[in-house]
């Protein structure tokens, strides 16, 4: 039986680029074959429970703006109503996946035992809905940043009891993710960082975080969870300095603690920008190390300088992101999660639907442009030409040589390189043909 929350809103269908229906897909056609695979299987869209259903519209200057029938979110019956509405949206959109934090799906009841009981109950309830034909779980995660107990960090907290509470919480969320057949398990450390070094033992905190993540990996193997463990980089916010600053920092951390073959990255567009990078930079860094896991495709406002978590709306940016994803072989267990919120004035159920429709369409459009560029091969050819010198036996031998012998050859052969154009504008013009 329908909750009636989305009353009057029909299932969203693909109508093609000429459609003027605001609630139709113009580019996202799940069954269209692109590079030998259905679009749905390439993009693997997921709705994020927290922003779409749990967020109440607060900002630093004002409280709740959304009034939903499942508010206040402190009761199991209303948590189930929220789940009912969630599955109605999944159905309207036709998305294949969703994601959650424990705190989004169950009420917070203070003690670990109570939280565990309600988590198990609500994930059983969600499991029934999945079996009845709902979408699959892309990833589960623990919210270890909202409740006051986490204010000084979770696994990096100076208090060992908080470390213990974090371990118990992650175990419960991994169990629940495993039970629901989740494809990945994510750790984002919003409070794994610090405000001031005056009260922080940075080295000890990193060691605790490394040990914690090793326990997570051990537990994954113990319970036979086949999904991928992912960490999500972000440079700051809520902590002033976050340890998982960006992809490169995370990769260094994972190597230091022996996790490079066990853990991959969940990269978020807005976090890349906060770290001073482009999204494709973060994707390319992770891909170069074989650590590209999944993405959160939500952008920031470029003027306000903080994590505004908006739905994507810039095709050229999205196209370059998918270009690097496709180039590295596409998603395996990962997907495209909308860790995105509608604006706090967008209070209608229709706004929630339209936001996802637009986000999915932009992604589809960028994705098709990326696939077309890859199939055309123009960028790959240009790249090959630019590095062609390295194909010679002599150049390869140099890499196994030493500074002295190389210097001798430079003298002997009078090596005097001729600068060559990087052709950036020509390549940018090339990209603009596709987007
Ligand atoms: C916050 C993060 C968060 C993670 C999941 O900025 O993006 O939403 O994706 O904890
Ligand atoms: Ni984020
Ligand atoms: Ni995120």
- List pLDDT tens digits, range 344-400: 999 999 999 999 999 999 999 999 999 999 999 999 999 999 999 999 999 999 999
pLDDT, tens digit (0-9, with 9 covering 90-100), for 13-50: 999 999 999 999 999 999 999 999 999 999 999 999 99
The pLDDT tens digits for 145-158 are 999 999 999 999 99
pLDDT digits (tens, 9 = 90+) for 206-218: 999 999 999 999 9
246-277: per-residue pLDDT in tens? Answer: 999 999 999 999 999 999 999 999 999 999 99
205 is in an annotated binding site: no
Q: Indicate which atom in ligand 1 lies nearest the CA of residue 51.
A: 8
pLDDT at 305 over 90: no
- Ligand 1 proximity of 246 Cβ (cutoff 6 Å): no
Residues noted as catalytic = 101, 104
Does the beta carbon of 268 sit less than 6 angstroms from any atom of ligand 1? Answer: yes
Structure pTM? 0.97
Residue 18 annotated as part of some ligand binding site: no
**Residue 412 C-alpha to ligand 3 middle, in angstroms?**
55
With contact defined as beta carbons under 8 Å apart, do 296 and 234 qualify?
Answer: no
pLDDT above 90 for 3: yes
Cβ count within 10 A of residue 361: 21
Which of the ligands is closest to the CA of residue 188?
Answer: 1
* Domains of the chain with CATH codes: 33-376 (3.20.20.150), 381-432 (no CATH)
Cα gap 392→195, rounded to integer Å = 52
Q: Is 201 annotated for ligand binding?
A: no
- φ/ψ of residue 21, rounded to 5: -70, 115
- Residue 307 beta carbon below 6 angstroms from any ligand 1 atom: yes
């Amino acid at each position: 039986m329908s909750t009636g929350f989305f009353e009057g809103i029909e299932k969203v269908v693909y109508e093609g680029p000429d459609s003027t229906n605001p609630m139709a897909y113009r580019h996202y056609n799940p069954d269209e074959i692109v590079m030998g695979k259905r679009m749905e299987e390439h993009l693997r869209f997921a709705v994020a429970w927290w922003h779409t259903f749990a967020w109440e519209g607060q900002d630093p200057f004002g409280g709740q703006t959304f009034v939903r029938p499942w508010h206040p979110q402190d009761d199991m019956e209303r948590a189930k109503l929220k789940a009912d509405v969630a599955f109605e949206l999944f159905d309207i959109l036709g998305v294949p996946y969703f994601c959650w934090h424990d705190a989004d799906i169950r009420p917070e009841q203070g003690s670990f035992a109570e939280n565990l009981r309600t988590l198990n109950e609500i994930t059983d309830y969600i499991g029934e809905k999945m079996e009845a034909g709902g979408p699959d779980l892309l990833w589960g995660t623990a919210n270890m940043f909202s409740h006051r107990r986490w204010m000084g960090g979770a696994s990096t907290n100076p208090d060992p009891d908080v470390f213990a509470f974090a371990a118990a919480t992650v175990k419960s969320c991994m169990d629940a993710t495993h039970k629901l057949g989740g494809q990945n398990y994510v750790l984002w450390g919003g409070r794994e960082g610090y405000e001031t070094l005056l009260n922080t033992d940075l080295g000890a905190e990193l060691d605790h975080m490394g040990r914690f993540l090793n326990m997570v990996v051990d537990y994954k193997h113990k319970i036979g969870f086949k999904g991928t463990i992912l960490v999500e980089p972000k440079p700051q916010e809520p902590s002033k300095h976050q340890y998982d600053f960006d992809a490169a920092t995370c990769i260094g951390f994972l190597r230091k603690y022996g996790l490079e073959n066990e853990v991959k990255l969940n990269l978020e567009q807005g976090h890349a920008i906060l770290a001073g990078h482009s999204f494709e930079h973060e994707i390319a860094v992770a891909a170069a190390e074989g650590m590209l896991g999944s993405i959160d495709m939500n952008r920031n406002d470029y003027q306000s300088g903080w994590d505004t978590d908006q739905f994507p709306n810039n095709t050229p940016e999205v196209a370059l992101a998918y270009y690097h994803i496709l180039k590295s072989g596409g998603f395996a267990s990962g997907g495209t999660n909308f860790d995105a919120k509608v604006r706090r004035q967008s209070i209608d159920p229709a706004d929630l639907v339209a936001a996802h429709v637009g986000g999915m369409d932009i992604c589809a459009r960028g994705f098709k442009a990326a696939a077309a560029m890859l199939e055309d091969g123009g960028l790959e050819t240009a790249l090959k030409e630019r590095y062609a010198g390295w194909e010679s036996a002599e150049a390869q031998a140099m890499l196994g040589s030493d500074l002295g012998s190389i210097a001798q050859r430079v003298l002997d052969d009078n090596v005097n390189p001729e600068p060559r154009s990087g052709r950036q504008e020509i390549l940018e013009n090339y990209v603009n043909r596709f987007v």
